[in-house]
Amino acid sequence: MYEFYLLDIDNTLLNFDAAEQESFRKLMESYDIPFQEDLFTRYKEINKNLWNLLEQGKIDKPTILTGRFREFFSSLELDINPSEAEHRFQNHLSDGKEMMPNAEEVLRCLKDAGKKLYSASNGVYATQIRRLKIAGLFHYFEGMFISEKVGFEKPNIGFFDHCFNNIKDFNKTTTIMVGDSLTSDIQGALNSGIASCLYSPTGNNPSLKATHTISDLRELLSL
């Protein structure tokens, strides 16, 4: 049914939650700050709020990448350079190669079936590329659409227009966006008029906006 697959990366193909926690732990260690769950929770709340503003078009990516650690360390009354902290964090994050269940199997089967696969991510370009490469997934893709290079963030229609304009023999009716985020992946697909598939491993996040909802990536093979 579908020929072109736009695939989110974080928590769709690669386990971002695990990579994020390990990267935060290493960052704290680099500043001689003991890792504590409440500190990680504080950071995630700050980060989530900033990403929400980004998806609404109210701030840009650089504001997030320095602002999250500026706000976090300020809340601890620590004078730590936020740009340096972000650099250290991204270095650790780029080593996060743990895959979501069945990710490689599904990519291999889709590619063997002649499907055209493209990444579609709001992440940091260099970090996402390195993670896909060290996870052994990079070669499955025909192209990489990552917001830092595209110039727009999901769910902005500009992101999807860029994708459509750079896919050979593109056909909107046979294209699907696959991801775990209602606000960026599913809303973006809705904005741009293509089908969508919400990946919800817990099965607790159904959406009437999504064309399909799956809890196992292998379900993509029967869509």
What's the CATH code of the domain at 126?
3.40.50.1000
pLDDT digits (tens, 9 = 90+) for 65-94: 889 999 999 999 999 999 999 999 999 999
Closest CA to 94 of 9, 183, 29, 32: 9
**Are 86 and 125 in the same domain?**
no
**Are 73 and 181 in the same domain?**
no
C-alpha span between 49 and 116 (Å, rounded): 34
pLDDT digits (tens, 9 = 90+) for 177-204: 999 999 999 999 999 999 999 999 987 7
Pick the catalytic residue: 8, 169, 180, 216? 8
**Are 132 and 204 in the same domain?**
yes
Q: 37-55 and 16-30 helices cross at what angle (nearest 10)?
A: 120
What pTM, to 2 d.p., does this model score? 0.92
Number of domains observed in the structure of the chain: 2
**Are 121 and 211 in the same domain?**
yes
Residue 176 CA, chain-centre distance (Å), reads 16
Q: CA–CA distance from 34 to each of 27, 38, 47, 74, 79 (Å)?
A: 10, 11, 20, 17, 17
Which CB contacts under 8 angstroms, 24+ apart, belong to 202-208?
Answer: 207/182
**Are 109 and 175 in the same domain?**
yes
Q: Where does the pLDDT of residue 208 fall: very low under 50, low under 70, confident under 90, or very high at 90 and above?
A: confident
Give the bridge partners for 119, in sequence order.
7, 144
**Are 127 and 175 in the same domain?**
yes
Mean pLDDT of the chain: 95
Percent of the chain with pLDDT over 90: 91
Q: Which of 52-61, 100-109, 161-170 has the lowest mean pLDDT?
A: 52-61
Strand 116-121 and strand 4-7: pairing? Answer: parallel
> Catalytic annotation on 95?
no
SS3 198: strand
**Are 77 and 176 in the same domain?**
no
Cis peptide before 206, with omega less than 30 degrees from 0? no
> Catalytic annotation on 216?
no
Residue showing tokens 């300020």 = 74
The range of the structural domain enclosing residue 124 comes to 4-15+99-222
